[in-house]
Structure 1
Amino acid sequence: MESKTVLVIGAGVQGLTSALLLLHQGAKSVTIVSEASPSDYQKRDPTYASPKAGANWQTYAGNTDYRLQEYDELTYKALWELSVLPECGIMRLPGFEFYNEKPAALQHPWYARFVRNYGFATAADLPPGKQFGVKYDTFTMNVPKYLAWLTGRVKALGGKLVFGKRLEHWQDALSAVPGGKVDIVVNCTGLGALTLGGVEDKDCYPVRGQTILVRAPQVKRTIGTSLALGGTRAAGGKVEEEMKVTYVIPREDGIVILGGTYQKHDGSMEINADSASDIMTRCIGICPELVVNGKLPEIVEHSVGLRPARYGDCRLDSQYLKTSSGREVLFVNNYGHGGYGYQSSWGCAYTVAKMVRRAIGCSQNDSLLSQFVKEVVGSKSAKL
């Protein structure tokens, strides 16, 4: 790995996390190329979703969806340890998932075996209209703070970041490296993979999400009602377009994300006033503590982002491609995560690192992610 030059395209949560783990594995150099950066982006940019995310851990994987299960489980365990670092902006808190009725044949969801403090919601926990729920300890991320931490760690390990570079073709990114001499390219372009030359994945599509950011430091739990027990893939045939996506996601700075919408193939970045009113009503219905002394929470911002979804779920694979100069590079894809980019990020980065190690003839190291987290957390891990 020490002799390899890596180019990562995309500076969202997947690109930053993949770059960070490859640097930790000893890559000779890692350069991230992106038009937008976490600290400088256009809010109406349809291809840069990470800064607009709610960013909590609530799995989409169903009980037989073993690939996504691995990504999410590894990420849960990594975030649990990283949450002891205040600079990360990760907050541990109780998470609730509520359902209209209790399943006739109750099967515990797959994640019950490892999440902390898993159990059933009590009658006192249930909001009006909900007959059943589960609860467990989860995380939320203060997105600006978390992305800044990832960026800082990449720089601290010697990574280079090149922002403001618009790419028509993936090979355009090669100019960010002296002589264009790159051994490995990691494609983390999210929705950009739909149009990026040399990739142009027609299975990618946008899912519009509208949210409201409010100031409500009194809210100390996450709440979701949109997913079936065990994840979206266990939805019993219910199509995603029909789901009412309602969620409450507090951050450690007192900001709470209220959502939302799940509108497939809708690329509009405009705020819809009717949707905003509906979101506020639905969220208050499941989280009454949003209202204090009869007053609605202060609205900080209305936001719209496009989840970078993909038919067949996220793409993690690799192949060898030749550049226009005839140089052969290992081309690794890591995109198409829809609404689960943060909660799968460390598991996906681990998979990227494993694919790279295998391709270049390095021995496999199943503990590479836990080793990284241990080194980052250091002595603070004793507090877990």
Structure 2
Amino acid sequence: MGKGTKAMQRRSLLGAGLGGLAAAGGAGRPARAEATPGISATEIRFGGTTALSGPVSALGVQCRAVEGVCRMANEQGGIAGRKLSYILYDDGFSPPKTLEQVRRLVEQDRVAFLFNMLGTAPNNAVVRYVNQRKVPHLFLSVNGDKWGDHEAHPWTMGFAPSARTEAQVFARHALAQKPDARFALLYQNDDFGRDYIAGLRDVLGAEYDARVRAASYEVTDPTVDSQLIALQGADVLVSGVTAKFAAMAIRRLHELGARMAHYIPSGASSVAGVIQPAGAERALGTITSAYLKDPNDPAWAGDAGMARYREFMARYLADADIADIYYTYGYTVGLALLQILRQCEGELTRERIMREAANLRGLELPTLLPGIRVDTSPIDYRPLQQLQLVRWDGRMWARFGAVIEGGTG
């Protein structure tokens, strides 16, 4: 279902200052909250796991921003008179550790819901468990298309545009530049990486096998040098990779003198986490997709939404690198969570929380690009399906073209 077909009842956080963003929870009507784990008369307790150590730990800073949003909300009186309590455990991007820590969160810490958990393989390890126990498993930090399947796992929902949608957009843009383009695909050997295969197949159809040469890697691999050497000679390289491997790929392509057009995931495009480690000049011309305002882009210097974001960072995360877009992501997803909890109107049961997660209509957030909104419904668990292409110009990600409505299949 396209987002444009949905009712556009806008619930915007664009006009709120820091106080307004958090204070709107109010004193909602008392709920059957005492029957819900993690909910008391004074507390909303939730949690999650992320990689604070290990090969993808650069992404873990998202959760620091979520912690900051919780502090902001609590300073302003919480939600429905309750303070937010966020319990975060390090899983090192290890699925067995994820399952161990999630069981601890659900069975010992008794959280009301799980939030912003990082990674395809870690979430795969727990999705059956949390759905069997009917624990909301919300706004996962993943790009897999499967996380929008409301029938397969009705208690689980992603947030970012899917990798499959992103791959479709990349392929269509590449073909518009060169209709006979030959593609190389570097992908992580899991569901996340395989979504890039699916997206290219969606666009290329029966020509996929003739036009695409693909190579996979494991998240534990020390380098992707051999894969990139084998993929030389194509016109286009689509890298379905995480941050560490995106930086490696950019650096190695430059060393090889490869002239392929290079597309990388939006989730692996942080200036601080990817471009700077790879080298800004080496990344010149690299393309990705965007749905967040880039804190490094001077176009947003006078933007009211980004002014509020900078105020938030200065107040709650003063020691953080404001140039790192993973903080921007964490702030954005944290604000979306506040909206869900407000919509519960004090009825903070797991069922109501899940129902409101699937009832976000035209939600505008201060750090989303203009024209991009959060939309969900009971049959559409893909909150963001709009993208804009951006190109690294040596200093920043420069937007070009119009916002593109995505979709799969």
TM-score, with length taken from structure 2: 0.26
Return the structure number with greater helix share: 2
TM-score, with length taken from structure 1: 0.27
Return the structure number with greater strand share: 1
